[in-house]
A and B are shown apart, each in its own frame.
Chain A
Amino acid sequence: QVQLVQSGAEVKKPGASVKISCKASGDSFTTYFMHWVRQAPGQGLEWMGVINPSGGSTTYAQSFQGGLTMTSDMSTSTLYMELRSLRSEDTAVYYCVRVNVRGAFEIWGQGTMVTVSS
């Protein structure tokens, strides 16, 4: 069974960038697409984008176009999500997620809290 382990909490100032990692273990890293989802405090789930770990092709949600980059490192089975020009509204828990064979979000990382504050 695959496990996703994310990097630790981050505190950033407005205008800065953050890069979060998500390491996969226990299964083939390149078999399924991987997604990033975020959740602001007390709010719902927001899909950010998807990456094909094999090849690195990406699609981002429209609200993140230009400020988000997702990458993968097949040699270490690790995904990365970089968000630039941070604002207070980007304060949230960020999750990496692996889909199942049907495309549903099956395996979730533990989440990484990002706080943006001056």
Chain B
Amino acid sequence: EIVMTQSPATLSVSPGERATLSCRASESISSNLAWYQQKPGQAPRLLIYDASTRATGVPARFSGSRSGTEFTLTISSLQSEDFAVYYCQQYKNWPPIFTFGPGTKVDIK
């Protein structure tokens, strides 16, 4: 079973600063990696899929990258609305097991 890990668990950032979130897969998942943003009381929102493709309507300050089994979500200049929990997820599709990471909470420094 593929295990997804995320670091750090909590990231404290000042508005306007850059935030870098990490996600690691326990085995190769190619680029089948998505990032989601979740705010309190809301459903998650798809931000990035295929490791680096922004979903429709997602601001350009969000970007994703991949190096082997290491994935990074970068928020170039944090806005107030970006303080949330971010989850990574693998969707390798076969076998059909879709694993989420434990999440990184981005809060205000």
Residue pair B50, A47 in contact (C-beta under 8 Å): no
CA distance A83 to B91 in the complex (A): 23
Residue pair A103, B91 in contact (C-beta under 8 Å): yes
Residue pair B44, A105 in contact (C-beta under 8 Å): yes
CA distance A46 to B96 in the complex (A): 14
**A61 located at the interface, meaning its Cβ lies under 8 Å from any Cβ of chain B in the complex:** yes
Chain A residues, CB < 8 A from B98: 35, 47, 50, 105
The contact size tier of chain A is 20 to 34
- Give how many A-B residue pairs fall within 8 Å (CB-CB): 63
Q: Select one of B34, B49, B87 contacting A44, CB under 8 A.
A: B87
Chain A residues, CB < 8 A from B103: 44-45
Give the secondary structure class of B's interface: loop
Give B63 Cβ to nearest chain A Cβ, in Å.
Answer: 16
**B32 located at the interface, meaning its Cβ lies under 8 Å from any Cβ of chain A in the complex:** yes
CA distance A102 to B95 in the complex (A): 15
Contact with B along A86-115 (1 / 0, CB 8 A): 000000000100011011111011110000
**A59 located at the interface, meaning its Cβ lies under 8 Å from any Cβ of chain B in the complex:** yes
A1-49 contacts to B (CB < 8 Å): 35, 37, 44-47
By beta carbon, the residue of chain A nearest B92 is A103
Q: Given the interface contacts A44-B100, A50-B96, A59-B96, does A102 sit within 8 Å of B50 by beta carbon?
A: yes
Give A112 Cβ to nearest chain B Cβ, in Å.
Answer: 11
Interface residues of B (CB under 8 A from A): 32, 34, 36, 38, 43-46, 49-50, 53, 55, 87, 89, 91, 93, 95-103
| Given A95-B43, A103-B49, A105-B36, 7 additional A-B pairs, CB 8 A | A44-B87, A45-B36, A47-B97, A50-B96, A102-B50, A106-B49, A106-B55
